[in-house]
Chain A
Amino acid sequence: MRFFRFSRKNLCIPYALYLILFVVAPLLVLFYYAFTDGQGRFTCGNLTGFFTDPNTLGTLCYSFAIAIATTIVCLLLAYPVAYILATGHFKTKSVVVMLFVLPMWINFSLRITALKEVLTLLEGNLARYPFFNTVIGMTYDFLPFMILPIYTTISKLDSALLEAALDLGAGSVQAFLHVTLPLSVPGILSGISMVFLPAMTNYVVLDMLYNSTYIMGSLIGSYFSAYNWHGGSMIALILLAIICLFTLLNGEAEESSARGGALL
């Protein structure tokens, strides 16, 4: 019975099982499909096909454009809010934070449906500004994911650093630019990664706001419903590679900014 002796390590077995069943195994299948053709032979045609087709490349650019625009808008909206929340002296701070988190508790499709009606009221005809509407919808959906990390980072800042800067003669603007802003970069970065990546694939927002152009997520779906599993898997894989690259870059940036903080 020694074999089954319980140790703390065994606690992670359920998770490992889960990981193997639902993450590793599908990934292997994805790889298999991406590099084979209909007859099961090895091919790189799916890969080269993606990068030579102006339509798939255009869709990649379109997804990037939506993701970048959404991230920028989210950042511009979220930073001041997070800053005020973290540094202000409200008695009801937690209530205000709650107000920003609260929308996340409401079902996502319900929120977008409500947004649809509001936008229709404002614009008259939604279909005339598909890109603009999509960015608004995505921002509405992902804003809390940007606010929260920035808020957490700023509220955990050592106030002594700021006081020291002020004592040494920096104005409040200078102190913000040279102390608070650089130190909140990790929060910004994790906020960006939480908004940018889902914004590239969340096609439900596009569908619900009547944007008939595909983004990466819907493109993959369309390949699968056309029984082209090989092409679809390859696009999913390419998207995965982009996400990996982005996460690596982000991680490195976070690391260096953390080191920068330590230096300061």
Chain B
Amino acid sequence: MMKRILHGMALLFLCPVLVTASFPIGVTATEVETAQDLATEDDTAEGYAAEVGRSDAKVPHVTLRVCNWEEYIDEGGWDEDAVISLESGDIIGENSLVEDFEEWYYETYGIEVDVEYSTFGTNEDLYNMLTLGDVYDVVCPSEYMIMKLMAEDKLVPLSDDFFDTEDPNNYYSRGVSPYIRDIFDSHEIGGQAWSKYAAGYMWGITGMVYNPEVVPQEAAESWRILDDPAYNRRITIKDNVRDSYFAAVGALKSDLLTSPAFTQAQDYKQRLEKEMNDTSPETIARVQTYLQEVKDNVYSFESDSGKADMITGKVVANYQWSGDAVYTMDQAQEDGFYLNFAVPKEATNIYFDGWVMLKNGVGEDAAKRHAAQAFINFLSRPDNVIRNMYYIGYTSVISGGEDDRIFSYLEWNYSADEETAEEACVDYPLDYFFADPSLEDEDRYTLTVPKEQLKRQLGAQYPSEEVITRSSIMVYFDEAQSRDINQMWIRVRCFNIHRIPVWIWPIAAIFLVFCSFLWVYRKRQK
């Protein structure tokens, strides 16, 4: 008997050994490939392609592991009538952008690339996946997670040739909006600018989608709507600690943030960012009390259901990211009614998702880095940007630079048609985003749109400059701050034992005593 068990165990341990033993062939193959990649290492794109062209033994091959948000890229398969007709030509998503990239990369650089595309649900999920040992080359976290990864030295900087605007294939550097470029250049962590490591993808603000028939615009334009008893159990709020914290801080400091002395101060922007990123123990405590109040006043904390509940009318207002707000308003419009979007007057959270390359994925591998940066550039090509924006509803960081297609897409999408009366139209300047000071082209970027668009999709997708003024970034909290805030959040969501009515305890005690008595009694009887 014993012998058998031992045999069984030996077999058990042997199995993995046997399995690993059959692998060496595979391992050598990869090593050879890496060696080849290293041999052809060269910094400039043309040089790299030329090098590859010379040794025409076999088509070189790169695998690129990409991890992106769920539903955050055009997956193709559009209907024929979804075609976007611009003056410069039609744009339609036939295949997914990932497939298109593989094709484009081969055509442009003569290298076969194989994209392994996967997705994540939240920044925290992504971070946990990375710490658990999942290996990716390029990922697309939000700004605070990029800051965290930068602080932990997990990223590979973008190479110099990525910023070379002479190269026609560098769509990112040539097309990124000057407004976004400024933010990425001016925000630092550990003395290093974001732009050194991260290339933006989408951006947006937070605000309220609301039903204008029930909620007046003034009410939706304040974070205080969350604890307003007039909308008891009819508002949803985001189910994550950072968004809830921001909203709570905005509501608690409402008076200060809207006072003229504050908004007209010289250093308004810096002070706003400081106030909105306040993590002092007193503020955390106040936020906890406030969120507990909010929890008993709102419909729910939602992570995905808010959009559907807004459309089915279960709730009348929904704290939402601008991209999802656009999606919600689009859906409502398809169902034949209108929803609006309001940006709280106190402050709004401006956020960015950006591509970064990981040290344990890309590492020193020049071929991989080249493919990764080409991937970012391909997604920044204006027609692909339009496809993405049309498909997922979020706003790209790309303005197009000399290429006007993105702005013409906005005209195609939002401009008032000829039947709209002139007094119902309004000029909507977007120079802060589109105009490049170096190109001297004023007045070129003003849309003429129906008035109500300011409160709808356009206002959410491209906020006005006035909204942008009161937008604040939410920085990455260090470990101690995150711990306190996360703990605060758990306390908000937990059921505090003090809330149990006192009379329950004696009843429970009597019940327990009764049960144990019954138990002992039966044992004795046997």
Contacts and interface: CB of A to CB of B under 8 A. Distances in A.
Contacts of A261: none
Nearest to A17: B12
B243 to A, nearest CB: 14
Interface stretch (A141-149, A171-179, A210-218): A210-218
Given A7-B4, A13-B8, A17-B12, A55 B491 contact: yes
Interface string A33-68: 000000000000000000000111111011000000
A62 B305 CA distance: 24
Given A3-B7, A126-B314, A127-B233, A55 B497 contact: yes
Contact of A222 (B4, B490, B500, B526): B490
Contacts of B12: 13, 16-17, 20
Nearest to A7: B4
Interface in B480-507: 482-483, 486-487, 489-491, 493-500
Contact of A213 (B302, B495, B500): B495
Interface of B: 4, 7-8, 10-12, 15, 122, 124-125, 127-128, 233-234, 239, 241, 295, 298-302, 305, 314, 482-483, 486-487, 489-491, 493-500, 522-523, 526
A219 interface: yes
Given A17-B15, A126-B314, A55 B8 contact: no
Interface string A87-103: 00000000000000000
12 contacts: A13-B8, A17-B15, A54-B498, A57-B497, A58-B498, A62-B495, A127-B300, A214-B490, A224-B128, A225-B125, A226-B489, A227-B128
A10 B12 CA distance: 10
Nearest to A58: B497
A223 interface: yes
Given A225-B128, A259-B526, A58 B234 contact: no
Interface string A145-158: 00000000000000
A125 interface: yes
B100 to A, nearest CB: 33
A125 B526 contact: no
A212 B4 contact: no
Contact of A58 (B125, B487, B500): B500
A9 B4 contact: yes
Interface string A10-33: 101100110010000000000000
Give the interface size class of chain A.
Answer: 35 or more
Contact of B496 (A9, A10, A54, A218): A54
Contacts of A125: 233-234, 299, 314
A213 B490 CA distance: 10
A159 interface: no
B495 A226 contact: no
A13 B522 CA distance: 43
Given A214-B495, A222-B493, A228 B8 contact: no
A39 B317 CA distance: 44
A125 B498 CA distance: 27
Contacts of B487: 226
B490 A226 contact: yes
Interface string A221-241: 011111110000000000000
A177 B122 CA distance: 55
A17 B498 CA distance: 46
B494 A55 contact: yes
- Which of A12, A208, A211, A225 has the most B CB atoms < 10 Å from its CB? A225
B233 A58 contact: no
Contact of B122 (A16, A214, A225, A256): A225
B301 A219 contact: no
A57 B4 CA distance: 47
Given A7-B4, A17-B15, A227-B124, A55 B490 contact: yes
A212 B300 contact: yes
A2 B12 CA distance: 16
Nearest to A218: B493
Contacts of A222: 486, 489-490, 493
A50 to B, nearest CB: 12
Nearest to B240: A225
A61 B500 contact: yes
B223 to A, nearest CB: 18
Contact of B8 (A9, A214, A223, A227): A9
B495 A58 contact: yes
Nearest to B294: A212
Contacts of B305: 208, 210
A120 B314 contact: yes
A57 B500 CA distance: 11
A128 B124 CA distance: 31
Contacts of A59: 494-495
A9 B6 CA distance: 12
- Which of B12, B127, B489, B494 has the most A CB atoms < 10 Å from its CB? B494
B11 A10 contact: yes
Contacts of B11: 4, 10, 13
B295 A212 contact: yes
A2 to B, nearest CB: 10
Contacts of A54: 496-498
Interface in A114-147: 120, 125-128
Contacts of B499: 58
Given A16-B8, A55-B495, 17 more contacts: A10-B8, A13-B12, A55-B491, A58-B499, A58-B500, A126-B299, A208-B305, A210-B299, A212-B300, A212-B301, A222-B490, A223-B490, A225-B128, A226-B489, A227-B124, A228-B486, A256-B526
Contacts of B239: 212
A226 B526 CA distance: 52
Contacts of B498: 54, 58
B493 A214 contact: yes
A211 B300 CA distance: 7
Contacts of B234: 125
Nearest to A223: B490
A39 to B, nearest CB: 12
- Which of B15, B497, B498 has the most A CB atoms < 10 Å from its CB? B497
Contacts of B500: 58, 61
A13 B14 CA distance: 12
A54 to B, nearest CB: 4
A174 B434 CA distance: 86
Q: 4 tightest A-B contacts by CB?
A: A226-B486, A58-B497, A55-B494, A210-B300
